[in-house]
Chain A
Amino acid sequence: MEHIATHNRKLIFTPAIRIFHWLRALAILVLVITGFYISWPFLVAPESSDVLVQGWIRFAHIVFGFLLTSITLVRFYLYFFSRNNIERKSFKDVLSFNSWIVQLKSYIWMGNLHKAGVYGPLQFMTYVAISFVALIVCITGLVLYANVYHLGVGGLLGGVSDWLTALCGGLANLRTFHHYLTWAFIIFVVIHVYMAVWSGIRFKHNSVDSIVSGYDYHKDHK
């Protein structure tokens, strides 16, 4: 017996978007945990001082910090220059007042969510905001790095990082800003995960799964 497909399938997330999404998720998770340790070392002292507990945790923080920095830069590039224009198309919705109303109403259970690209306007602006927060957290992180590691990349960033340190009024302030921004990620992640799950259920399409498989399934519209 032949099956007739009840849903249309459409590739919305390119492999690059998906891979970077999950790498970024991993980086944020590791950075938040190790960052809180660096802020307030909560683990007990090791048996021997040959075991560099703080040293290894700081190492992980730096490695994943560079990962997040790279992804942040690549994602900025991809938004503008990716051959797939699914993200760029969303910008049309941002400029349309009507689109904002449609999205906000759909979130309070009034009507469906129609959008030109893959993101609604509020969603799009939230992602833009978190991308800029990521940019600032990476820059402050690099300045902190350059103040500790003076060779290689640290040495290369030396001049700029001195200027930024002075701009912030010292390393202490800079670090305080770096710490505050952590909370933007934590709060973002909670809302992001909820909205992804909720919109899949509410609007009856593939949602959480899309960022793994890349496909969205729609019943009616293509």
Chain B
Amino acid sequence: MDTHAALYKQGQERLDYLRQFAQRQPKSLQQKMADIGISRRDFIKWTASVTAMFALPLPFSNLVAEAAELADRVPLIWLHLAECTGCSESLIRTDSPNLDSLIFDHISLEYHETLMAAAGWQAEENLEHALETYKGRYLLAVEGAVPTANNGAYLTVGCKGHTGLHIVKEAAENAAAIISVGTCAAFGGVQAAAPNPTGAKGVHEVVNKTVINLGGCPPSEKNIVGTLMYFIMFGKLPALDMFNRPKWAYGARVHDNCERRGRFDAGEFVEEFGDEGAKEGYCLYKVGCKGPYTYNNCPTERFNHHTSWPVLAGHGCMGCSEPNFWDDMADFEKPLGRQLLHGIDATADTIGAVILGATVVGIGAHAVASVFAKPLEE
């Protein structure tokens, strides 16, 4: 059996397994689509685009369609740690409901602090109940970094005052899969920037299980929903890259698929924001684009219903989906070669030039001294 046929069979088995569980939503996905005016045609187009995004052949779109309908059989627990809710916003704040936000609405969301109605003791009970009822079966999504300094005391959530560290460890214990949504959960993000007083870390550093890292500040709704869909369809993790990011989303550099790439190769660069080159759509490398070092699908998938992305809007990529981006990619409006070194406030080239200058002065002094030195005895 070839690999695609095997994968297809695996998907079917997975969906058969999900079908045995009771429907968790009062309305089916079909009804929900009808209510908000998404046609069957839109739905089929969406399944085809998700299939293409995973680089799978078209017949898999049947699986995508089935998986979308069965999304309410998969319990999802979504934790908020040290974060800004921007990742949830990326997903839910769309100007009109589309299929990505609808899937998120349809999936059996057991706990999500921003979206749930419950508060206080009731919320705490919901979480405990969900962790117990869906043991070993629930999908855990985490948004935000985990402060670890002082035993995690920099973040406490809920009426029981548990630390984020405690909550994430407990929830990770019996999760079927763990997804770190956004750079903070994946790599610590801005909270982990030097000097990192709260000891903020990515989720994978505090739990001893494989964690899918969805880098990005925020990751696009496509990457979040795509990862959910992949898990619903196959019940396993997708192929991951060196930083455990799904390869289907983070397999190529931003630079590789950038619409301004031709400008880069030609040597046409924006010198400063607002200049003639900027108006012409020249490459943003010299004003700090970090696309060459950043793995993500922003140029192809874009954000907000495929509307735009930073480079299209005229600002370089900041490398937000890379580990330690806040420190490594600074300054955001200068290329790496013009990066100011911490504590010295000079670029590597300035320091190199100063050392070179000192070398030349030393050589000059040695040369002059040699003129007056006693000649070597024959």
Binding site for B on A (CB under 8 A): 39-41, 43, 45-46, 49-55, 57, 109, 112, 147-148, 162-163, 165-166, 169-173, 175-176, 179-180, 182-183, 186-187, 190-191, 194, 198, 201-204, 219
A187 to B362: give the CA distance in the assembly, Å.
Answer: 12
> Quick one: given A169-B328, A191-B363, are A40 and B264 in contact (CB under 8 Å)?
no
Could you list 19 examples of A-B contacts with CB < 8 Å?
A: A40-B337, A41-B267, A43-B267, A45-B277, A46-B266, A49-B263, A169-B328, A170-B293, A171-B253, A172-B290, A172-B319, A172-B329, A179-B348, A183-B349, A183-B351, A183-B356, A190-B360, A190-B363, A202-B370
Contact A187 B356 (CB under 8 A): yes
Other-chain residue from A39, A169, A180 in contact with B324 (beta carbon distance below 8 A): A169
CA distance A135 to B264 in the complex (A): 29
Residue of B nearest to A147 (CB): B253
A187 cross-chain contacts in B, Cβ below 8 A: 352, 355-356, 359
Cβ contact of A202, chosen from B292, B329, B376, cutoff 8 A = B376
Contact present for B285 and A41 (CB under 8 Å): yes
Count of residues in B whose CB is under 8 Å from the partner chain: 51
B113-147 toward A: CB 8 Å interface, digit per residue (1/0)?
00000000000000000000000000000000000
In this assembly, does B339 line the interface, its C-beta being within 8 Å of a C-beta of chain A? yes
CB of B286 within 8 A of chain A? yes
Residue of A at shortest CB range from B243? A166
**Measured CA separation A141–B329 after assembly (Å):** 19
| CB <8 Å contact, B356 and A190 | yes
Please provide the chain B residues from 253 to 302 with a CB less than 8 Å away from any CB of chain A in the complex.
Answer: 253, 256, 262-269, 277, 282, 285-286, 290, 292-295
**In the complex the two chains form, is B265's CB within 8 Å of A55's CB?**
yes
Chain B residue nearest to A53 (CB atoms) is B267
B338 at the interface (CB under 8 A from A): yes
For the complex of A and B, 10 pairs with smallest distance between CB atoms: A53-B267, A39-B337, A183-B352, A109-B373, A172-B293, A49-B266, A171-B293, A166-B242, A55-B265, A45-B268
A183, B355: Cβ atoms under 8 Å?
yes
B217 proximal to A (CB < 8 A): no
Q: Is B194 in the interface zone, CB < 8 Å from A?
A: no
Which partner residue on chain A sits nearest B328 by CB separation?
A172
Check if B335 sits within 8 Å of A39, measured CB to CB: yes
Please report the C-alpha to C-alpha distance between residue A147 and residue B265 in the assembled complex, in whole angstroms: 17
Interchain CB contact (< 8 A) of B266 among A53, A147, A175, A198:
A53
How far is B353's CA from A190's CA once the two chains are assembled, in angstroms? 12
- Kindly provide the distance from the CB of B360 to the nearest chain A CB, expressed in whole angstroms: 7
CB within 8 Å of A: which of B337-365? 337-339, 348-349, 351-352, 355-356, 359-360, 363
Q: Is the CB of A109 within 8 A of B370?
A: yes
User: In the complex, which residues of chain B have a beta carbon less than 8 angstroms from the beta carbon of A50?
Assistant: 266
Give the docked Cα–Cα distance between A176 and B348 (Å). Answer: 9
Whole-angstrom distance between the Cβ of A62 and the nearest chain B Cβ: 13
Give the complex CA separation of A53 and B282 in angstroms.
14
A51 CA to B243 CA, complexed, in Å = 37
Question: Known pairs A55-B265, A175-B292, A183-B355. 20 more at Cβ < 8 A?
Answer: A40-B338, A41-B269, A45-B267, A45-B282, A46-B266, A49-B266, A50-B266, A51-B267, A52-B266, A163-B242, A170-B322, A170-B328, A171-B293, A171-B294, A172-B325, A172-B336, A175-B336, A183-B349, A194-B363, A198-B366
CB distance from B365 to the nearest CB of A (A): 11
User: Which residues in B have their C-beta under 8 angstroms from that of A182?
Assistant: 352
- Measured CB to CB, the closest approach of chain B to A3, in angstroms, equals 21
Residues of A within 8 A of B356 (CB): 183, 186-187, 190
